[in-house]
Structure 1
Amino acid sequence: MTTVALRPVEDDDIEIFHRYESDPVASERAAFPAREHDRFVKHWAKIRADPSVNLRTVLVDSEVAGNIVEWEQDEQHWLGYWFGRAFWGRGVGSTALRLFLDEIPIRPLYADPAEQNVGSVRLLEKVGFQRVPPEQQPPPEDGIQYVLHVLGSPDDRPSDST
């Protein structure tokens, strides 16, 4: 039986995360170009130093499977994640996201997968995200806990400011 768990990000995880992001299949599916190594490492140093960012390493039977991050941008809280391709389609993402959502009480949370990333869109819907186009943004008090903006192109994606 596979065990999925979350833990704080450790230094050794960063190289694994970079390897996962550098996978050309994953990068194309996410419509997010892989960052050059030094830029990637600097990005992770910045977000790890920011106490307002919630981030976890996802483990599958003690092997690093990916990461989940929550950050604030433009007064909204965003959710992002990246899993190694070997962990796709195994229920790892849905289990890890449920654990993370139980751990992080911030609502509403927003996510913005690329339209072509069908697996990511389905994953977010499976854990309770609701499709809402950006132009139909609900007010936070309307009761929607998870908001899903499915993006038609990489140009629609919020900037990588975390």
Structure 2
Amino acid sequence: MGVTLRDVREGDLPVFYAQMNEPEGMWMAAFTAEDPSDNAYFQNHWERILQNPTTLVRTVIEDAGEIAGHASVFGPPEEREVTYWIGRRYWGRGIATAALRELLRLASERPVHARAAADNRGSIRVLEKCGFVVTGNDRGFANARGEEIDELIFTLRD
């Protein structure tokens, strides 16, 4: 599966908002906004992301030209972290792995870190395919699940 990463456009945000409110996606991501349906919060959050010069954020376009999601690298140099969100209808097609590989090519600084809910097998597999290894664990409150859950911490060194 091939993907294209491009700069985020204002018109992408409604698609991101819809994707980030899909029940299955929220459950898997677990660590979401307190109220993902709060569009004003969503808009303010994305305005901050897009204005931050240290954040590399891209829209993920799948082969047919549709917006599949977004991927980004953020944080200070010694704590860079990747994150991505792929819409439910694009799961299981290799899009997340292809997008993360391309993002890591664009953002070559290492080490870079990632986090995933410990039971999110799909995201864990994506990270492993891209060379990340588990380097720790944590436990935190997952808004999407309404309870504390285990989380894995990953690092990519090379």
Deviation per CA, 1:65-97, whole angstroms, max 9, x where unpaired?
A: 000011115940111000000111101111111
Structure 1: runs of 5+ lacking an equivalent: 135-150, 158-162
Q: What is the number of equivalent residue pairs in this alignment? A: 140
Structure 1 residues 76 and 44: alpha-carbon distance in aligned structure 2, compared to 1, 3 A threshold: same
The more displaced of 85-94 and 26-35 is: 26-35
Higher relative contact order (CA 8 A, sep 6+): 2
User: Are the aligned partners of 2:72 and 2:103 in contact in 1 as well (CA < 8 Å)?
Assistant: no
Any residues of structure 2 matched to 1:14-93 within 5 Å, and which?
A: 14-33=13-32, 35=36, 36-60=38-62, 61-72=64-75, 75-93=78-96
Answering whether residue 122 of structure 2 is matched by residue 119 of structure 1, we say yes
State the 1:152 CA deviation. 4.8
User: Are the aligned partners of 1:29 and 1:117 in contact in 2 as well (CA < 8 Å)?
Assistant: yes
Structure 2: runs of 5+ lacking an equivalent: 143-147, 152-158
1:87 maps to amino acid: Y
Percent identity at matched positions?
35
User: Are the aligned partners of 2:78 and 2:111 in contact in 1 as well (CA < 8 Å)?
Assistant: no
User: Are the aligned partners of 2:2 and 2:98 in contact in 1 as well (CA < 8 Å)?
Assistant: no
TM-score (norm 2): 0.82
Q: Distance in 2 between matches of 1:104 and 1:75?
A: 13
User: Are the aligned partners of 2:74 and 2:81 in contact in 1 as well (CA < 8 Å)?
Assistant: yes
TM-score (norm 1): 0.80
Q: Distance in 2 between matches of 1:25 and 1:91?
A: 18
